[in-house]
Amino acid sequence: MVSSGVSLLSLRGYLNHKKAPFFIAKKGAFCLWLKLVVTIVDHFKESFTFAYQFTFTAYPMLFNSYSFVLLVLLTFGLYYLPVRTRAAWQLSILILSSLFFYGYYQPLLVLLLLGSVTINIISSYLIIHGAAYCHLLHSVWGVVANLSILIFFKYSSLFAHTFLPVQSEIGSFLLNLPLPIGISFFTFQGISLIVDTYRNRNNAAYRQLIPKSIVEHSKRVLFFKAFFPQLVSGPIVKAHFFLPQIEEKFLHSIRWEYVFKNLTLGYFFKMVIADNLKDHTSIITYPYFEAESTLTLLIALFGYSMQIFADFAGYSLIALGLAALFGYQFPINFNFPYISTSFSEFWRRWHISLSSFLREYLYIPLGGNRKGEARTCLNLFLTMVLGGLWHGAAWSYAVWGAFHGLALLLERYITTHLKIRETRISQIFKGGLVFSLVTLGWLLFKLPEFSHVVAFFKALTTNYNRPLNTLPVALILLFSMPVIAYHIWYVWGEQSMERIWVQKRLLQVEPYVLGCMLFMIITNSGSSTDFIYFQF
């Protein structure tokens, strides 16, 4: 709720208070900006309060809900109707369905999305069709505007919690700002559009992707950012990858096998594995974990590692299948990450669309590895810390990013200065070590409060004599087995490329495995819940 007492007078009093943060100068730009924001809020506080209550109190339509299935079926039926202007019709149908999907529970959410889209429409259009001497200016203000929206809605609470008294009215206001679903994903896609457009402004092929008609361009950008399969949890699709795909689609071109496999595996991971595991990994919640044994907590943490993979990889697979149903291709987002034998390999396999975005739009522009060893290490560390903060407005996520950044730096030093002979045993050891450390890192996702993490480690070291909590442990291991088997299937298939009989056997077994997955989806799905990455 927005406090009815928020006013310019109260803010001015706080800014003049002797305990105000040292970096807020009384005549500084930040002070003036903050005064302007609160003046606007004070002027429109009644309507803003109503909009806040009305807009941000529910969740988007879930992929595993009946309403979503109905939306997809209706959209699919209308999408492939044999109308005369099929390309324009198909684009319009997907735009309307996407906006309906995003605003299903709270229609005012669409206004924020449309505002973000408008920034990207204008900026990218002017980069191509505006005056040449202003191209850089249009790209800069476009990126800054995108980041400003993200920072205001996502990180104002972190700023307030860190620097402002909770009791202050402005602090209370910032702490209670809502986090619109999917804002991190569609903001990054908007930045991708602007940066790609600026980089390719003199590329004749790319310029054709930004039509002269502002109306046509607006529809394409709106579709690019709002396409419902990836709108709220990715994959993060880059403009140069997606825009060339916007064209007329045909029913006979659908890759039905690809669609079926991705949807079946995705829903199986989400509804059977993740949704069941969440009920049993809930023991990793303060203060309940304090009563559990060391072995129980270790297995529960292992189960959470399986859960977060099944949840997010499941969403990404569903998104790939849905996009293909309408003739579009998304990049693969997970490539069996838990077989990684190094942290660099892990980030080439886990949330690939995010790691490639950070590399292409942050790490390389910072200088990459082109400016010496010290600068390379700094660039890598900063990229991982910011990538951690992208996941959430809490310092625990920055620590998680720093943890991975330090692991990558240590790994870089070892591979550069130490020559280690590679054997099958060393590969297994490294794979186990990387998985264990990655799993340990997920604790910061499950317990964002540092004090709770400390309490968890205390329980690990002191509860070794307590009895094993048999039932949840058994169920965690049971529902983790498909994720383990999924990775083993991949390893076995990759190592057997030259053994044709193994490949044939895997292909023969695959339909039965998919059939079993469908049966489990129908008979053994867990209680429906949000995807974990909805919060990011």
- Residues designated as active site: 391
Please return the burial class of 404, using the count of CB atoms within 10 Å of its CB with bins 0-12, 13-18 and 19+.
buried
| C-alpha to C-alpha distance for 375 and 481, rounded to whole angstroms | 43
| C-alpha to C-alpha distance for 310 and 303, rounded to whole angstroms | 10
DSSP labels for 327-384?
Answer: T-------S-GGG-SSHHHHHHHSSHHHHHHHIIIIITTTTTTSS-HHHHHHHHHHHH
Amino acid at site 4 = S
DSSP labels for 477-495?
Answer: HHHHHHHHHHHHHHHHHHH
Cβ atoms within 10 Å of 321's Cβ, excluding its own: 22
Helix ranges (H only) for 16-84 are: 29-43, 45-55, 66-79
Mapping DSSP to helix (H, G, I), strand (E, B) and coil, where does residue 11 land?
Answer: helix
Please return the burial class of 124, using the count of CB atoms within 10 Å of its CB with bins 0-12, 13-18 and 19+.
buried
Residue 299 has phi, psi (to 5 degrees) of: -70, -35
Closest by alpha carbon to 367, among 356, 378, 352?
Answer: 378
Q: Alpha carbon of 190 to those of 147, 228, 256, 327: distances in Å?
A: 10, 15, 30, 22
Rounded (10°) angle between helices 294-325 and 66-79: 20
Q: What is the largest CA-CA distance in the chain?
A: 79
Cβ atoms within 10 Å of 170's Cβ, excluding its own: 21
Q: Which residues contact 132 (CB under 8 A, 6 or more apart)?
A: none
DSSP labels for 485-527?
Answer: HHHHHHHHHHHTTT-HHHHHHHHHHHHHHHHHHHHHHHHS---
